[in-house]
C-alpha cells in the first residue's frame, strides 16, 4: 500500500522527534560511556537559548547577512557555471582555452581560497561571496557540461533543418534540454555553498550565522553553538528544497517511470490490448479520444493507442 501524503508527513515529523528525543535522553541522563554526553547541552537548554536569541536583533541580522551572502554567491555561480559549462561543451576553442585552467582550480577546496579572497577583495563581504560562489560554481559547471554534451543530436538537427540558427538552438534546445542536468548541479552547489559560507564567516566574517556560532564557541556558550548549528541545518534544508522544487517544476516534461518506490503504480487502470480493428468501447481513455476525434480516424487512433 502506498502511504497517504498525510501519513508520510507524520512519519517525517516522527523521525525528527525521535532524533530529538534520543538527544534529550542521552544528554538528560548524562550518559558517559565511550562517548561523553555529560557536557553536552540538552534539547531544552538549546531550545531555551534559541527562544532567547529569537527575541534579540542580532539573530535576525546574522540570518539575513548569511542569506544575502549565500544567495548572491549562489546566483552568481549558477549564471557563471551554466554559461561556462555551455561554452566549454559547445566550443572547442573555449574548451582548449578554459579547460586546463578550470581543471587546475577545481580540486582546490573553496575554503582554501580565503587568503586569495583577502588579497583580492577590498571588503570581507565580497571575499565571502567570492568563496561561496567558487564553491557552487564547479558542481554547476561540471553538470552543465555533461548535460549539454549528452543532448540528443536529433533535437539540434531538427531545429537546424527548421531554419534555426545558433541562438535559437541555444534557447530552444541546449538550455531546456540540459535543464535536468543543470539542476542536478545546482542541488549539489547549494549544499556546498552553505558549507563554504559558514566556514568563511567563521574565519573572517562580521555577523552571520557562522560568525555567531564560532563566537559562541570561543566564549564556551555551548547551547549558543547548537542554536547556530540548528539554524544552519534548517536554512540549508529550506534552500536546497527550494532548488529541488524549482527544478522539478521546470523539468515537469521529463517522462516519469510508473515505478513508485515502495508502492504500486500510480494509475491502476487496466490496459487490456483490444483485438485489432475492434472498437475498444469499454476503455474510458479510448472513448474520450473517440469523442474528440469524431470521424473516420477514430479506429486508427484506437489502434495506435494499443499497438504502439
Partner 1 sequence: MSTSSEAVETAAPSAAPAREGERGTRLTLRAAVLGRPGAPVLHDVGLDVAPGEILAVVGPSGCGKSTLLRTLAGLLSPLAGAAEQDGRPLTGPSADRALVFQEDALLPWRTLRGNVKLPLAISGVPRPERRARAESWLGRVGLSAQAGQLPHRVSGGQRQRAQLARALADSPRVVLMDEPFGALDAQTRSGMQDLLVEVLRGTGATVVFVTHDVDEALFLGDRVALLSAGRVAAVRDVPRPRDRGALDDPARVTLRRAVLSSLGT
Query: For binding to partner 1 (CB under 8 A), which residues are involved?
Result: 152, 154-155, 157-164, 168, 172-173, 176-177, 179, 251, 253-255, 276, 289, 292-293, 297, 300-301, 303-305, 307-308
- Least distance to partner 1, CB of residue 154, Å: 4
Shortest distance (Å) from residue 293 CB to partner 1: 6
> How far is 168 from 273, CA to CA, in rounded Å?
42
Identify which of residues 2 and 300 has a Cβ nearer to partner 1 in the complex.
300
For partner 1, the closer of residues 57 and 267 by Cβ is 267
Residue 65: CB atoms within 10 A of its CB come to: 22
Residue 272 vs 307, nearer CB to partner 1 = 307
Residue found under cell 501524503: 5
What SS3 state is found at 280? Answer: coil
Q: How far is the CB of 80 from partner 1 (least distance, A)?
A: 24
Taking a C-beta distance cutoff of 8 angstroms, is the pair 159, 39 a contact?
Answer: no
Helices (DSSP H) in the chain: which residue ranges?
5-28, 43-55, 58-90, 92-105, 114-120, 124-149, 153-161, 166-169, 175-204, 209-218, 222-250, 284-293, 297-307
Residue 152 or 241: the one with the smaller Cβ distance to partner 1 is 152
Q: CB-wise, 91 or 300, nearer to partner 1?
A: 300
User: C-alpha grid cell for residue 145?
Assistant: 557540461
Phi, psi of 36 (to 5 degrees): -105, 115
* Distance (Å, whole) CA 15 – CA 19: 6
Rounded to the nearest angstrom, the gap between the alpha carbon of residue 296 and the centroid of all alpha carbons in its chain is 49
Q: Which residues contact 3 (CB under 8 A, 6 or more apart)?
A: 11, 263
Minimum Å distance from CB 150 to partner 1? 14
Alpha carbons within 13 angstroms on the beta-carbon side of residue 208 total 24
Burial bucket for residue 33 (CB in 10 Å: 0-12, 13-18, 19+): exposed
Decide whether 45 or 299 has the Cβ nearer to partner 1: 299
Closer CB to partner 1, residue 26 or residue 274?
A: 274
Between 24 and 251, whose beta carbon lies closer to partner 1?
251
Question: Cβ of residue 241: shortest distance to partner 1, in angstroms?
Answer: 23
CB of 152 to partner 1, least distance (A): 8
Amino acid at each position: 500500500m502506498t502511504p497517504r501524503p498525510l501519513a508520510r508527513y507524520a512519519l517525517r515529523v516522527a523521525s525528527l522527534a525521535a532524533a530529538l528525543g534520543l538527544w534529550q535522553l542521552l544528554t538528560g541522563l548524562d550518559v558517559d560511556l565511550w562517548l561523553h554526553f555529560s557536557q553536552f547541552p540538552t534539547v531544552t537548554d538549546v531550545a531555551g537559548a534559541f527562544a532567547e536569541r529569537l527575541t534579540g536583533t542580532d539573530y535576525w541580522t546574522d540570518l539575513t547577512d548569511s542569506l544575502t551572502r549565500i544567495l548572491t554567491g549562489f546566483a552568481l555561480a549558477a549564471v557563471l557555471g551554466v554559461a561556462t559549462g555551455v561554452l566549454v561543451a559547445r566550443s572547442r576553442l573555449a574548451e582548449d582555452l578554459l579547460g586546463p585552467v578550470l581543471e587546475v582550480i577545481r580540486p582546490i577546496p573553496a575554503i582554501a581560497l580565503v587568503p586569495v579572497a583577502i588579497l583580492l577583495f577590498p571588503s570581507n563581504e565580497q571575499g565571502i561571496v567570492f568563496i561561496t560562489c567558487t564553491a557552487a560554481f564547479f558542481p554547476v559547471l561540471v553538470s552543465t557540461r555533461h548535460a549539454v554534451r549528452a543532448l540528443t543530436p536529433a533535437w539540434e538537427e531538427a531545429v537546424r533543418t527548421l531554419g534555426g540558427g545558433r541562438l535559437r538552438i541555444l534557447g530552444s534546445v541546449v538550455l531546456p534540454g540540459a535543464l535536468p542536468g543543470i539542476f542536478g548541479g545546482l542541488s549539489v552547489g547549494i549544499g556546498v555553498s552553505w558549507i563554504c559560507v559558514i566556514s568563511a564567516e567563521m574565519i573572517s566574517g562580521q555577523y552571520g550565522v557562522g560568525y555567531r556560532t564560532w563566537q559562541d564557541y570561543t566564549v564556551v556558550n555551548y547551547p549558543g553553538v547548537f542554536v547556530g548549528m540548528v539554524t544552519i541545518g534548517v536554512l540549508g534544508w529550506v534552500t536546497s528544497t527550494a532548488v529541488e522544487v524549482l527544478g522539478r517544476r521546470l523539468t515537469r516534461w521529463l517522462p516519469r517511470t510508473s515505478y513508485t518506490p515502495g508502492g504500486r503504480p500510480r494509475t491502476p487502470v487496466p490496459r487490456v490490448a483490444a483485438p485489432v480493428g475492434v472498437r475498444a468501447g469499454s476503455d474510458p481513455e479510448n472513448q474520450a479520444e473517440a469523442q474528440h476525434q469524431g470521424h473516420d480516424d477514430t479506429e486508427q487512433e484506437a489502434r495506435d493507442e494499443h499497438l504502439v
